[in-house]
Amino acid sequence: MLKIVRLDDRLVHGQIINNWCTNEDITEIMLINKEVANNEIRKIIIQMSVPKGINILFCDVDSALEVFEEEIEYENLMVIFGNPFEILEFIEKGGNINSINIGGMSYKEGRNRLSTAIYINEEELNALKKISEHGIPLEIRVLPTDKSVIFK
């Protein structure tokens, strides 16, 4: 069962493992990020940070779509995207997403503060607006215990 789709440019980190996976009983993570999917060293490092009992799958958008076409029943799956452009690509290529949790976008030059721990630039903002135009609700929430704020 797909439990959470999250946008977080930090990808897999302590908040994901210690808070989201624990509170939501996540047993599988699908990380959809072209850079990581094509970098064996980054995959090994991320895999080392994931505790036993949580399976992780690394995909780019196209391979993720193929996985979902197989109609495999995943148990307590969390999907993490590293940027809004890959989410938009996933949706435009036929991927089905019910809602998106925006959980972390680090400060970088050219990004403006959207919320606590969330900074985006104009291109990212436009991508999020396009995602929203597809009728997909976006919520801003860094931790599962935080109050959810709807992105508009």
The H-or-E segment that residue 11 falls in is none
Choice between 36 and 73, residue whose per-residue pLDDT is larger: 36
d(CA 17, CA 50): 7
State the pTM of this model: 0.94
Name the class of domain 2-150.
alpha beta
**Mean predicted confidence (pLDDT) in 3-32:** 94
Integer Cα distance of 105 and 128 in angstroms: 13
pLDDT at residue 2 in the model: 79
Average pLDDT of the residues of the chain? 94
Q: How high is the pLDDT of residue 70?
A: 84
Sheet holding 100-104, edge to edge: 55-59, 28-32, 77-81, 2-8, 100-104, 138-140, 149-150
